[in-house]
Homo-oligomer: A and B are copies of this chain.
């Protein structure tokens, strides 16, 4: 199918600078962008779609979340972290069935598509359920089976999570025209043993996989690692050989300058989760410093239990302003840099080289923002508008690989009412309400 999006604003390129076309045309052939410009391109189109008053941006990439946790939205708000986790989150998670995880993933996808997210990196149990939901929706995702090991006596090769992770990789990596990718995952230093990290890290390297980890999210985790091993979590992962694979490390709130140097040297990318880090009282990740060092930075929502939504516009907003707040410097974390974190960097972190920016030859992963809103006027600076003024709900269309998945409240690959009904059934099972 050849489709032309016409008369719209287009925010293209972005490797170094973004190029803003105030009124232009974007052509798509199948899943690929074939033209971007100010004048109407020649050729025949199956559909010419008038997008007057809309701004096309690359689809947003949420590089760290736990999608099924939207079923835990709002539980135990404002409890101390340990009580929240042990008294609220874990007991519910223990009760979650495959059916619940599917219901939660579907609900998450409804929410993500409605606010312009085209791809996400997920870390949760029963990942095949999430893959199924993503596949049906036509979205993109990097999914993993998180590996943990609490028993130091077990042989690494007997860890059932490692086996499941490999099976998932062999079965589904690259599925759906590469929309589905399977990552490797060590949940965190404090939930794993050195032996398993080393063994599984080696497997990741052999398979050419991406490794997704939690790193120095809380001061407690960071300090306890130093007390236990005499080194930071970053050093612990590096010494276990994990960083010899391409690794994305979520949070990194408490990493030291030496840790940052190590991440930079090993090419580890860092996922910033500002809402979650603030809400849980974890602190502020020093992302401008890491960006200045040349570390590749992405942006994530974390799970909805600690956010409490999956809205990348809120993350862009927070990433743009919060670092000004504690440094006292309003010039840092520029909108262009933050927007790049949420798009092109995210795609790179996911290992997707053919998306993340609007450019000829790239996949048509696009969100359209409706600029005809009082809070988006005047549009003097579109990048500032996206990062400071827009809401997730300003997205009026979300497209993945050239296919419109969401437009003006309507979903084209998902039965919204059925998904909501299944979410309600899951909530009833989990909470009895």
Contact = CB atoms under 8 A, between A and B. Distances in A.
B81 A378 contact: no
B420 A281 contact: no
A431 B114 CA distance: 34
B74 A378 contact: yes
Contacts of A77: 334-335, 381, 384, 388
A384 B308 CA distance: 8
Interface stretch (A202-210, A320-328, A347-355): A320-328
A382 B71 CA distance: 15
B281 A328 contact: yes
Nearest to A326: B326
The A interface, classified by DSSP as helix, strand, loop or mixed, is helix
Interface in A364-394: 373-375, 377-381, 384-385, 388-389, 391-394
A193 B307 CA distance: 46
Contacts of A309: 375, 388-389
A244 interface: no
Nearest to A423: B377
A325 B284 contact: yes
Contact of A381 (B75, B107, B380, B388): B75
A17 to B, nearest CB: 15
A389 B69 CA distance: 14
A74 B388 contact: yes
A191 interface: no
Interface string A320-364: 111011111111101100000000000000000000000000000
Contacts of A81: 330
Given A77-B334, A80-B331, A391-B391, 18 more contacts: A70-B377, A74-B380, A74-B381, A77-B388, A78-B330, A78-B335, A78-B384, A79-B330, A80-B330, A84-B330, A219-B328, A279-B321, A280-B330, A281-B329, A282-B325, A304-B389, A309-B375, A377-B423
6 contacts: A275-B321, A283-B326, A304-B389, A307-B388, A308-B384, A378-B423
